[in-house]
Amino acid sequence: MGNLPEMHCWIGVVASQELIDFSTHGLVARAREAGFIWRAPEPPPFLWCAVNEQPDYVRYAANMAATHYAGSKAVGMINQYKAERRRTSPPKKSRP
């Protein structure tokens, strides 16, 4: 849709100190596309681990500016969707 720049999003759960990444299945292909040689073991389809148990082939570092940017764009898109739904939805029938 062109609303966000391409970025890699993952989840850091502060309360449980876990990392969740549903895109690890594409790491090898992305590395090759960028001209790198993948030398680590094949990654799993997704990663869900404790922060202190990260595999050697990944390094996660939060970028707060990117987080705030993506969050604000996501909220804007949700609000735009809700406004469009309100505008195009038929009126609700009132109950007797």
Report helix, strand or coil for 44.
coil
Domain ranges within the chain, ordered by starting residue? 8-58, 63-89
Q: Are residues 80 and 17 in contact, defined by beta-carbon separation less than 8 angstroms?
A: no
What's the confidence (pLDDT) of residue 3? Answer: 53
pLDDT of 18:
95
| Positive or negative torsion for Cα 14, 17, 18, 21 | positive
**Residue-level pLDDT at 71:** 84
Q: Which residues contact 12 (CB under 8 A, 6 or more apart)?
A: 18, 19, 20, 51, 60, 62
Q: What tokens does 33 get?
A: 């596309």
Low-confidence ranges of the chain (pLDDT < 50): 1, 4
Q: Give the model's pLDDT for residue 78.
A: 92
* Model pLDDT, residue 57: 76
